[in-house]
Structure 1
Amino acid sequence: VKQFQSENGLYPSGVVNQETSYTLLRKGFPVYVFTPHSYYGTLGWGARSDTVTTLQIGAKALFPQWYSAGIDWLYGSKSAAFVKAFQKSKGLSESGTIDEATAQQLRQAGIPISLVAVADPKPIYLRSTLWRGAWNDDVLQVQRALVKKFPQYAQFQPDGGFGAKTEAAVKAVQRANGIYPDGGVGPKTTELFRKNGIEAGMFNSAKSTTALNHGVWNSAVTTLQQGLRKYFPESFPCWPDGGFGAKTEAGVKAVQKHFGLPETGFVDKATADQLRSLGVPLTISAPPEELNQTLNTPLGQWQWNSRVMALQKILKYYFPAQTPYTPDGGYGVGSKAGMIKVQNLLQINPTGAFDQETAAKLQEYGIPLSYK
């Protein structure tokens, strides 16, 4: 055995291990040695692994009627054909891919391979490119994405540490998909993840001079939704689209409940500050100073004074989508139309005037204004 190993470039241990048996098989000697191997994820087309070698050796030894091909470490069409035949014989779905049920039947048949389950990745949104040396939840989710979608390059247990194995897997994936293999996870790599069904991307850094509420449609809402998807995915089960609707409001309320803020459903400075503490690059300006001013009721069309100006600024801050005017202190047609839109949103009588019902409802809605 030592002589054979030496002549064939193997370490002359004198022990017939799997590597030696593989060489013997290539030389025409029917010597099969099974070495138990585990595979992270689902074993299927394109996989390159010692687990595949064990599968092929077992197929050739135990099921020669279904597998007479070589042993080459690569899960190709002939390996898939064997697995389909094996699955059919066991009454399993003939997918040609080895899942846990198939792996269990293979083990019972004498082929010692097992699968290690890896959790699905959570939505991945990054503020900057991830590099080797990082150790955080972002790395953990990237590792899960690699194992789930590119298991032929990523055979390791995700642990949140961006080490040599993770970097090697990233580079291999990048090479295979025409991306410069720098080993970092940035815009192009996250785009590749998206194309393969993994929600991933780079955060849009955004700043808004107004609160975010129903009807707003801009990049700040996209950033908000990216943050909701990353940190509160159960409360916002949608892909970011930049439009603030009922589902975004529900996600915002979940954030506010988590941080002990009033559950208003709109994103003001206080809510944005808490999101930013998590890592969401969203900045909302402070509300106008006029918020501290006591407003008279009623205020209506054709009035022109500082109270109207204060009301316009307050509504402009909290309801930017409903108030497409420039505050000027004059309660004209635009101000009335904006007030009607706000009242419809609040589900109260759309009088178009700032009356006591409207003022009370705005307070109830979470806007800390004072009125008399």
Structure 2
Amino acid sequence: MAEEGTYRKIIHIDMDAFYASVEQMDNPELLGKPIAVGGSENRGVVAAASYEARKFGVRSALSGAQAKRNCPDLIFVSPRFDRYKEISQQIHKIFYDYTDLVEPLSLDEAYLDVTQNKKGNPSASLLAQEIRLRIFNEVGITASAGISINKFVAKIASDYHKPNGQKTVNPHEVIPFLEELPIRKFYGVGKVTTEKMYQLGIFTGADLKTKSEEFLEKHFGKSGKFYYNVVRGVHNSEVKSHRIAKSVAAEHTFDVNLSSEIFMLEQLEKIAASLEKRILKHKVSGKTVTLKIKYSDFTTQTRSKTLPYFIADKHLIVETVKDLLYQERMKDSVRLLGISLSNLNTEQKKAVVVQLKFDF
């Protein structure tokens, strides 16, 4: 951990059920009701669920059919990403009233470094409270916050008193907080890693702390050093006001499954046109083209090709995707197609903002 007096003051703001909250705000008839944004009872995948729906086990990435079985009264709402982006921009304007060190993770969450802030307020907790109140009063939806000495702890803390709450982990509380934390709640530890840790007798942060750096690197590779450090409160990643985009992508889910490569190619040309617009917006080019295919059984396959030169033109993207499409036969009908361009030339370019994000 940092020496006394040199701690950063980091706030992680996370909007509460963002897409669903925007829909309920814009349509008061949906207030208090279980709603799912995206999908339908016959097909598609839920993008977000209101807290009323979450009580029934409805969550993002769940199939619409399963969501409806879990919650028979579930109301499906079509997503409006332009609207969510508009609301997100309003929220970010509020953030910049407090600090220029804002790192967006997505439309609905961001890190703020308020160690030195525009309000001259030494209390990060009071600043977080004020920011949340302004979001509610000026935008109309609620947010939760986590406040601590680094991004890792702040991220975990923001989930503690959801919805519409906040948790501060003061410098002297960081180690006890992490030691008591179930390993499954460590940010970055997914289901597979959690199971592996359980097999190694690691159930809490305290258990993790007993393991040597060598032991963790042996079992978890490069991530081992990360786990060794964060459980000791060491996470020196700064809040970066700009993040370099690693890829640009576009995809589309179809109302009717496609089984003909000819029809797929027609759709891929449209997707490539959308991708080209995003590429031009970010002023990037790339060498690696990836075709994403999601089949009717929800399994996903990717096929990639890396070119010897940078491209940004939709016609070149389509030609490359065509090769990938005919690379092998489809195993089933297709419900989603996507194209991404990676291996970008951003190392030589200005960073691109990702949209879609001690008195504590």
Q: Could you tell me the TM-score, scaled by structure 2's length? A: 0.24
The answer to which structure, 1 or 2, has the higher relative contact order (CA under 8 A, 6+ apart) is 2
The structure richer in helix per residue is 1
Larger-Rg structure: 1
Choose between structure 1 and 2: higher strand proportion: 2
